[in-house]
């Protein structure tokens, strides 16, 4: 199985129960200098294409399933190109989407709970930490076709300094596009509808960086798609949306 990529970041950490030491640890005044080689493991949920992005039906018509797949492919491709990301796990029961996402380099697991979005995210996070109990995990929407790797890096670097769970609100300021849980923290996702308020209520810190519009611009409606196209989308979404007259 493909192993997560590693970063060269270093932190000084106090030794604690269950924390592995690196080969180059050097005790100093009770602290241990550890080569922290983790990057973020992302979990991306995706419904079966035939039912995905149902709110886009009026704007996209018969192109909707192809757009849903293109969104996911462009999102995952950008995430895998992000310097802060070690691996991406996609939770989906769609065979075609799973095969194409795996070809990009993502881990693909079935939606075994079949209990909705948050159950899928919890399951994906559990699968990630089954591979690496010390993984830092972030849930990322699969409908970010304008996603820029550099902007995602900014968000994940901010999340890494949050001392706990952190999230990024969507462009409307109502939902959530990313929820990050560092090592030792449960993901505890509360996505869907007004999830910004729910994530705040659970103690997650809101990331309020400027200039990360591509990480906030999810696509549920025709207006959202127009906004994403204005930012500049990935090649798969551009192809799927070419010639599309977007209804209001």
Size (the chain), residues = 248
Q: 55: which DSSP letter?
A: G
Answer yes or no: is 192 a known binding residue.
yes
Q: Report the distance separating Cα 192 and Cα 167, nearest Å.
A: 14
CA 156 to chain centre: 10
Q: Report the distance separating Cα 162 and Cα 159, nearest Å.
A: 5
Alpha helices in the chain (DSSP H): 57-60, 64-80, 95-104, 117-131, 149-160, 195-201, 213-216, 222-231, 235-241
- The pair of structure tokens assigned to 226 is 């127009």
> CB–CB of 202/241 below 8 Å?
no
Q: What is the largest CA-CA distance in the chain?
A: 66
> Rg of the chain's alpha carbons, rounded to an integer?
18
Q: Report the distance separating Cα 44 and Cα 18, nearest Å.
A: 28
107-109/136-140 β-pairing: unpaired
Other residues' Cβ atoms within 10 Å of the Cβ of residue 55: 13
Q: Would you list which residues are annotated within the binding site?
A: 176, 192, 195
Residue ranges of the binding site for phosphoenolpyruvate: 176, 192, 195
């Amino acid at each position: 199985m493909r192993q997560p990529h590693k970063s060269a970041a270093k932190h000084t950490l106090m030794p604690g129960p269950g924390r592995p030491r690196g080969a180059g640890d050097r005790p100093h005044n009770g602290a241990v200098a550890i080569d922290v080689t983790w990057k973020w493991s992302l979990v991306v949920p995706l419904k079966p294409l035939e039912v995905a992005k149902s709110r886009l039906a009026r704007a996209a018509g018969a192109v909707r399933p192809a757009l849903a797949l293109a969104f996911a492919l462009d999102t995952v491709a950008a995430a895998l190109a992000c310097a802060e990301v070690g691996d991406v796990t996609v939770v989906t029961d769609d065979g075609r989407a799973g095969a194409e996402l795996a070809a990009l380099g993502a881990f693909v697991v079935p939606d075994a709970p079949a209990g909705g979005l948050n159950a899928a995210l919890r399951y994906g996070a559990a699968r990630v930490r089954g591979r690496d109990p010390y993984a830092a995990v972030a849930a990322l929407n699969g409908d970010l076709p304008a996603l820029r790797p550099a902007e995602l890096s900014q968000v994940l670097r901010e999340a890494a300094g949050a001392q706990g769970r952190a999230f990024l609100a969507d462009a409307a300021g109502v939902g959530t596009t990313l929820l990050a849980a560092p090592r030792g923290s449960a993901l505890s996702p509360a996505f869907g509808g007004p999830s910004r308020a729910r994530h705040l209520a659970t103690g997650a810190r809101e990331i309020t960086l400027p200039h990360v519009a591509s990480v906030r611009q999810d696509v549920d409606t025709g207006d959202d798609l127009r906004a994403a196209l204005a930012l500049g989308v990935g090649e798969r979404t551009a192809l799927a949306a070419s010639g599309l007259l977007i209804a209001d």
